[in-house]
Chain A
Amino acid sequence: MARIRYEHVSKRFDSTLVVDDLDLSIEDGELMVLVGPSGCGKTTALRMLAGLEEVSSGQILIDDQGVNHMEPRERDVAMVFQNYALYPHLSVYKNMAFGLRLHHEPKEEIDRRVREAAQMLQLEDLLQRKPRQLSGGQRQRVAMGRAIVREPKVFLMDEPLSNLDAQLRAQMRAQIARLQRDLGTTMLYVTHDQVEAMTLGHRVAVMRLGVLQQVAPPPELYARPVNLFVASFIGSPTMNLFEAELHRESEGLRVSFGSQCIKVDPALVASRPGLVHYGGHRVVLGIRPQKTADATLMDTGDTESTIVATVELREDLGSEVDVHVAIDARVPTLEAVIEATEAREAGVAGRPQGSFIARLGADTEARVGGQVKLWLDPRALHFFDPNTGMAIYD
């Protein structure tokens, strides 16, 4: 078990800055997830901790001890690679025993630990097989087993599930979470998949272009993203974003986007005092698809939080319905939003300019081509500065 600290860590490949001044602490026993689109520097950050990549500047500490100049073998970390990196010439048993043998553990001890891990991962019947005789899921488990038997200070996971199909990925995700909880070992887990990040991480660190954007527990990341990038990267379907304008009126703030206008809840303004300074200014408005409802099915008299729009597409998910409606407001074209949206499959699946996704209850009667009256939760609106992309809080 161990505590990890990145102190102003940067990594340069030739002239490109891949990791830029990373400051991050991982507590003893914590499962920290590093998430971001490809090329954001998350894997490089992990590999620097493993000792597979040199640190250009700054310092990495494991248990308050600087490890910058330590070889990988001296750091007492275990790593699971994206492609598993099993030793193809060794049996499953020998793959798992490899590290222990190098450390000259006694034979009985090696055998005990390998069998224990094999039992934990249901690999007992496969111990004599070679990696090429295993399925993808089995290889993945062997890679996990190889890390577990080492009983290291830290587990490093480099996209360990990205080569599995969706169902297996969900299974293994649960298994990794359980293992980490049972073993209580500090874990740094790298992924590009925000669902994986949100479901696994005790805390999640979001990176973009080598820069750490935000570190927070998943609920906070979802509810209080610090900027447009985090807001559009986290959550599925992605947050609806529009160019909008705040208006100060006698009873409080209202926000208009396109031809729509809704009120901003006073409680929200109270929790985000910075909003007051944006009265009469342009902002970016964000609304999570989950924070909407079909107003005709509600008995609130809250007419100031509803909009009426034409339904373009209806997607039945069974328990819920995703309704795409046309909004005549402009979608912000900040780099950060575009990158986050492109990195997300949900975004690629098609969100045309000016389309708004509302996730409604299955009982909604919204029909394609018809009008729907949507209630937008006035306490769950997000506001961002249109120039900096930063969320407006204080």
Chain B
Amino acid sequence: MSGRSGSRRLGRALLVTLILVWSVFPIYWALNTSFMTINGAETIPAHFLPSPFTLHNYRTLLNQGAGGVGYQFWRSFLNSTIESGLATVLTVVIALFAAYAFARLEFPGKRIILVTVLAGLLLPVYATLLPLFRILSNVHLINTYPGIVLVYTSGFLPLAIWIMYNYFASVPRDIEEAAFVDGATPVKALWRVMIPVSMPGIAATAIIVFLLGWAQFIFPLVLSSDLTTEPVTVVMAALYGQRIQPFTLLTAMGVLAAALPGVIALLLNRYIVQGIMAGSIK
């Protein structure tokens, strides 16, 4: 190895480390803080490992007393799960058929429709916030699951269609044609061949959409008004704003709230990469 490529490798390693520290440190710090009492956490110089170590914050969250902070947390956690989950299912199903049509069928206006749908990706989403609020309140869907799920779905669809469209387009046409010659109707070919073959792409889309849903803040802040639909992001922000609960408790909440998407991303990141890279590798 030449000295030049050696120093280049060193530079790259430093850069990667820097990015890693930048993105992982806040998570580490939240984790660290969540295992301390407020006194321990406010000590200067700061402890880089929890000292004294305590599970007090997590115990408090497990206490489900009505109206307590534990109840608020778990209720909003449930809301987040339901809203992101339903939005994921709905988005994936619609995107599946739309992407298949764009990738495989010929129909008039196909290009224009596809470009229009994808242009949705370029729209500043907050521009749609107030109109959506007006629409939802007119049809009495403010602070309801269907209202939030529909808004999420409409927002996520362009991205989902785009990812799946690329994936479908990368599946060789002759696999489907083989199914047609073997006796499949278009619907059977889609169901028995195209969908199973595209499973990595579909999984990637589902994961990405779920993670996006979980991270939503401004939309539910506006479209929800109480714990019937408020997701965990909104409830945590509210608790923080009230300045009643110790911030160590809030970091414990943050850790738990981040745990689900974190585990999903860690376990399934293979699919995420595969789905996004579709077409570039054979």
Contacts and interface: CB of A to CB of B under 8 A. Distances in A.
B104 to A, nearest CB: 13
A102 B182 contact: yes
A89 interface: yes
A150 B182 CA distance: 8
A52 B196 contact: no
B175 A85 contact: yes
A150 to B, nearest CB: 7
Contacts of B196: 87, 89
A73 B174 contact: no
Contact of B180 (A71, A86, A89): A71
Interface in A141-175: 146, 150, 156
A51 B177 CA distance: 10
Contacts of A51: 180-181
A226 interface: no
Q: Dominant SS at the A interface?
A: loop
Contacts of A156: 181
Contacts of A88: 175, 197
Interface size classification for chain A: 20 to 34
Nearest to A88: B197
A83 interface: yes
A45 B196 CA distance: 31
Interface string B169-188: 00010110111111111001
Interface in A242-269: none
Contacts of A78: 181-182
B184 A73 contact: yes
**Best-buried of B179, B181, B193, B199 by chain A (most CB within 10 Å):** B181
Nearest to B176: A85
A99 interface: yes
Contacts of B177: 50, 52, 72, 79, 81, 85
Contacts of B197: 87-89
A77 B181 contact: yes
Contact of A89 (B174, B182, B184, B199): B199
A51 B180 CA distance: 9
Given A85-B172, A102-B188, A73 B180 contact: yes
**Best-buried of B178, B196, B197, B199 by chain A (most CB within 10 Å):** B178
Interface string A49-73: 0111000000000000000000111
Contacts of A102: 182-184, 188
Nearest to A52: B177
Given A87-B197, A89-B197, A89-B199, A72 B180 contact: yes
Nearest to A74: B183
A139 to B, nearest CB: 12
Contact of A83 (B172, B179, B199): B172
A52 B180 contact: yes
Nearest to A98: B182
A195 B185 CA distance: 37
Contacts of A103: 183
A236 B184 CA distance: 43
A99 B199 contact: no
Interface string A81-102: 1110111110000000011001
Nearest to A50: B181
Interface string B104-121: 000000000000000000
B250 to A, nearest CB: 46
A87 B178 CA distance: 9
B203 to A, nearest CB: 13
A77 B177 CA distance: 12
**Best-buried of A51, A78, A81, A146 by chain B (most CB within 10 Å):** A81
A151 to B, nearest CB: 12
Contacts of A89: 193, 196-197, 199
Contact of A52 (B181, B188, B199): B181
B193 A87 contact: yes
Given A87-B175, A89-B197, A98-B179, 11 more contacts: A51-B181, A73-B180, A73-B183, A81-B174, A83-B172, A85-B172, A88-B197, A98-B182, A99-B183, A102-B182, A102-B183
12 contacts: A50-B177, A51-B181, A52-B180, A52-B181, A72-B180, A73-B185, A81-B178, A85-B177, A85-B178, A88-B197, A89-B196, A89-B197
